Structure 1
Amino acid sequence: MTESPSYLRATADAYDAMAVVYADFARDSLAVLPLDRALLAAFAELARVNDAGPVAELGCGPGYLTAHLRGLGLDAFGIDLSPVMIGLAREAYPGLRFEVGSMDALDLADGELGGIVSWYSVIHTPPKELPPYFTEFRRLLPPGGILLFAFFESGGGPVETFDHKVTTAYRWPVDELAGLAREAGFVEIGRMLREPLDGERFRRGHLLMRAE
């Protein structure tokens, strides 16, 4: 078996250690985020129309967003690098499917998914390591499959690190991420940049894309 890159091991260990605190913090976070909910609803509508397979939340953490997607009528399941997070997700949502896995190399067939949500789930990935994630997302989706990608936006400047509460993370310019997605075979449907709310430090970026 190929050994995982050190940043993946470090990220999994960091989230294992913070899992209970993180789950308590994140559980009701969507309740105060109407724009985020609207974008998730748009993703769900597009995925239902496409009807090309189940939807995976990659980097699902404690599972609250996977459960939200199921509530929007999608056949949704979650995958996360942290075994402790997956344990919490299974405990909180016993009727849903959750698996441990690394989203850069998943044990899923080509074109198996109708949609993918990556909700701030690659923010800890070093910039040079990010393109293969988009390649893997594209492999998993058939033509017409939908990808929703959320991240911390850099305010138009270059990629930069910041001191995320769990472990080092990165902020990206939206155009650069959109370019990486295009190179992997995605067409942009739309984007949303949301200004930080009280208690948030950075602008939030969201890209909604379709596989070519």
Structure 2
Amino acid sequence: MSVVPTDDWLTDTRTSYDTVAASYSDFVRDAITGEPYLRAALTVFADRVRAAGGGPVADVGCGPGHVTAHLNGLGVDAFGIDLSPGMVEVARRENPGLRFEVGSMTDLRLGDGSVAGLLAWWSLIHIPDDEVPTVFAHFHRVLRPGGPLQLGFHVGDVSRLKTEGYGGHPMAVHVHRRQPDKVASWLRDAGFEIDAQWLCDPDEPVPQAFLFARRPS
């Protein structure tokens, strides 16, 4: 089933995550602790940031900040950006001392070459296909040459409209499942080089994928 987002998809996504911010934070609070492959992916990312010289790292679509906090625990100078002011409020409350700001990956307000690494975990899933090239162009622009990029997303060939979310709250957010090769092709078109692909839970109804890429030096 293919679902075509409306012109208000960005507003709908923001409102939906404002609505579920507190419940979503409870849902993902221990997600990394209990998942060795998630921890391994973040460790690889942190190592690659250090190998590229270190510096500030953007967690784009950071939600309540659990990934941002984990990266800082690994010694990475990570900050979070999220479309939802409600999520940013929760992230700041639960992770005092870390930097979080409201922003959209479709209009990323970061300077050219200003970050040493960029991570987007399960946030690209809400971006329509025709907006992905714009998003990847922003990612390429803000990354320093040699800087690593890591994406996490649902694997599949369908899109659906999610109408109820965490804690039973109403939502109106599109969720796009994509094949890793398709996402990798978009990344190459944006000027990235692909270093690795991971497929997790391949026997589950909805597998998960990681793509490790970098802006060439």
Q: Which residue of 2 aligns with 1:186?
A: 192
* 1:207 pairs with one of 201, 207, 211: 211
Residues in 1 aligned to 2:98 and 2:205: alpha-carbon distance in whole angstroms: 32
The answer on whether the counterparts of 1:52 and 1:142 sit within 8 Å (CA) in structure 2 is no
Alpha-carbon offset, residue 31 of structure 1: 1.4
**Cα shift readout 1:18-62 (whole Å, capped 9, x = no counterpart):** 111101001111112101110110010000111253001000000
List aligned pairs for 1:51-200, cutoff 5 A. Answer: 51-154=53-156, 159-164=157-162, 165=165, 166=171, 167-195=173-201
**Cα shift readout 1:76-121 (whole Å, capped 9, x = no counterpart):** 0000000010000000011100000011212211000000010001
If the length of structure 2 is used for normalisation, what is the TM-score? 0.89
Q: Which residue of 2 aligns with 1:37?
A: 39
If the length of structure 1 is used for normalisation, what is the TM-score? 0.91
The answer on whether the counterparts of 1:149 and 1:208 sit within 8 Å (CA) in structure 2 is yes
Residues in 2 aligned to 1:12 and 1:24: alpha-carbon distance in whole angstroms: 19
Ranges in structure 1 where 5+ consecutive residues have no aligned partner? none
Tell me the SS of whatever aligns to 2:124: coil
Alpha-carbon offset, residue 163 of structure 1: 4.6
Tell me the SS of whatever aligns to 1:90: helix
Tell me the SS of whatever aligns to 1:109: coil
Tell me the SS of whatever aligns to 2:32: helix
**Cα shift readout 1:164-212 (whole Å, capped 9, x = no counterpart):** 4352201001101000000101101111000168xx7410011000102
Tell me the SS of whatever aligns to 2:55: coil
Residues in 2 aligned to 1:103 and 1:180: alpha-carbon distance in whole angstroms: 15
Residues in 1 aligned to 2:178 and 2:37: alpha-carbon distance in whole angstroms: 20
* 1:19 pairs with one of 18, 21, 29: 21
Tell me the SS of whatever aligns to 1:70: helix
RMSD, aligned CA: 1.5
Residues in 2 aligned to 1:12 and 1:201: alpha-carbon distance in whole angstroms: 27
Residues in 2 aligned to 1:44 and 1:105: alpha-carbon distance in whole angstroms: 25
Alpha-carbon offset, residue 7 of structure 1: 1.1
Residues in 2 aligned to 1:107 and 1:206: alpha-carbon distance in whole angstroms: 25
Identity %: 44
The one-letter amino acid paired with 1:191 is: Q
Ranges in structure 2 where 5+ consecutive residues have no aligned partner? 1-6, 166-170
**Matched pairs, number:** 202
The one-letter amino acid paired with 2:207 is: R
Residues in 1 aligned to 2:50 and 2:130: alpha-carbon distance in whole angstroms: 34
Higher relative contact order (CA 8 A, sep 6+): 2
Q: Which consecutive segments of 4 or more residues in structure 1 shift more than 6 A?
A: none
The answer on whether the counterparts of 2:106 and 2:131 sit within 8 Å (CA) in structure 1 is no
CA spacing shift, 1:20–1:29, aligned 2, 3 Å: same
The one-letter amino acid paired with 1:161 is: S
